[in-house]
Amino acid sequence: MLSKNELRYTLALQRVPNLGDATAKKLIHKVGSAEGIFNEKKSNLLKINGVGSFKLKELSKKIQLDEADEEVRFIEENKLEWLYFQDNLYPERLKHCIDGPILYFQKGNIDLQENKIISIVGTRKITTYGKVFCEKLIEELAPLNPIIVSGYAYGVDITAHKTAIQNGLQTVACLAHGMNQIYPKMHKKYMDNVMDNGGFISEFWSSDAFDKSNFLKRNRIIAGISQATIVIESAFKGGSLVTADIANSYNRDVFALPGRATDLQSQGCNNLIKSQQANVITSAADIIYMLGWELEEKNRKPLQTQLFIELSEEEKVVFNYLKEIAKDDLDNIALNCSMPTYKLASILLAMELKEIIRPLPGKLFELI
């Protein structure tokens, strides 16, 4: 973790107008530290490939350090944690994002070292269809203990946070403003529950003006932290589509909930699917098998305890097939069991939750 002096200089670097996180990281890698950048001659910094005079035009040690000292006081008074992009605790996936923040703040009980992290985003004008699906999805995923990331806004975001808490899951709200405020104000009543079950993160300072453009900027953190981004509902245009686009640029999986062609809040999702920018999601099974998740070993029971589990007729067909073949992939199981793939995915999920089968790398499945 950064020392207080290193924090001051890193904050000061973060404050330089027009510099950006990607260029800041490049300078730190070349010079060695944020303090070193402020003490280096501009003429030497300009020799670094990709660093032009425009980006360094407003680099001012006195101005930016004075601003940084004010923010350090706020951080200390409010007992905020900070994570630097070279820290061990900085989220691993976010480290691979070239424009990930060099520094961000957090409060609560956040642990992002868990591998299963998904972001759930969507419209503020959530419909009953979207709300029911979001709640059911998280409930079905709960046995795998994923971390649910969202943006704490109205609609899909707050539904995802609340449902995660109800199912005992960690949830992380990524804010588009400093930690000195909360937006929307109506959601202040959920803050304690969120901090008990995860917390809040933000790259914005307490002195930053509330700006709608910040919402688009924070979306890269939501996408960057996560293994996959799920868009529940979206109109033809919306911030969640930006998050999906960013997730695709990071080579992360994107899923979208399809809806009727006439539904305004499904137009964005339908277009993502139609343009092959997102996978269709109709149940938790789609997430589990596309991402290769499986139940933790500690949650598994020995085979002997499973012998008397009741199986549906379709589950018996799959069970008998895997008993003969040992293991096979999703497509072959569907073909040999005469089942459509979308239906088989749900059956396999049910069998995994009953601890009868387990997924293997390469979308293979075998009996436990």
Same domain for 319 and 197: no
Same domain for 195 and 124: yes
- What's the confidence (pLDDT) of residue 308? 52
Same domain for 287 and 304: no
- Residue 356 is part of a domain; what is its CATH number? 1.10.10.10
Is residue 322 assigned to a domain? Answer: yes
Same domain for 215 and 320: no
Whether 240 has a pLDDT exceeding 90, the answer reads yes
Same domain for 131 and 57: no
Whether 295 has a pLDDT exceeding 70, the answer reads no
Boundary of a domain, candidates 256, 291, 326? 291
Is residue 15 assigned to a domain? Answer: yes
Boundary of a domain, candidates 291, 318, 333? 291
Is residue 109 assigned to a domain? Answer: no
Domain span including residue 132: 117-291
305: pLDDT confidence band, cut at 50, 70 and 90?
very low
Range name among 96-105, 216-225, 283-292 with the lowest pLDDT average: 283-292
Report the distance separating Cα 282 and Cα 276, nearest Å. Answer: 16
Is residue 263 helix, strand or coil? coil
Number of compact structural domains in the chain: 3
Same domain for 247 and 173: yes
Closest residue by Cα to residue 289 from 349, 201, 202 = 349
Same domain for 306 and 286: no
- Residue 136 is part of a domain; what is its CATH number? 3.40.50.450
Whether 303 has a pLDDT exceeding 80, the answer reads no
Q: Which amino acid is at 300?
A: R
Tens-digit pLDDT profile for residues 151-183: 999 999 999 999 999 999 999 999 999 999 999
Boundary of a domain, candidates 46, 77, 108? 77
Whether 297 has a pLDDT exceeding 80, the answer reads no
- What's the confidence (pLDDT) of residue 21? 94
Taking residues 313-336, report their average pLDDT.
88
Report the distance separating Cα 177 and Cα 212, nearest Å. Answer: 9
Higher pLDDT, 80 or 302: 80
Same domain for 274 and 180: yes
Taking residues 15-30, report their average pLDDT.
93
Taking residues 327-331, report their average pLDDT.
86
| Percent of the chain clearing pLDDT 90 (strictly above) | 69
Tens-digit pLDDT profile for residues 191-219: 999 999 999 999 999 988 888 889 889 99
Distances (CA, A) of 198 to 72, 84, 192: 23, 19, 10
Is residue 60 assigned to a domain? Answer: yes
What do you get for the CA distance between the two ends of the chain, in Å? 43
331: pLDDT confidence band, cut at 50, 70 and 90?
confident
Same domain for 301 and 272: no
Count, residues in the chain: 368
Is residue 100 assigned to a domain? Answer: no
* Secondary structure letter of residue 49 according to DSSP: T
Same domain for 229 and 132: yes
Question: Do 190 and 158 contact (CB within 8 A), yes or no?
Answer: yes
Higher pLDDT, 343 or 139: 139
Is residue 51 assigned to a domain? Answer: yes
Question: Do 295 and 144 contact (CB within 8 A), yes or no?
Answer: yes
Is residue 236 assigned to a domain? Answer: yes
**Over the chain, what is the mean pLDDT?**
90
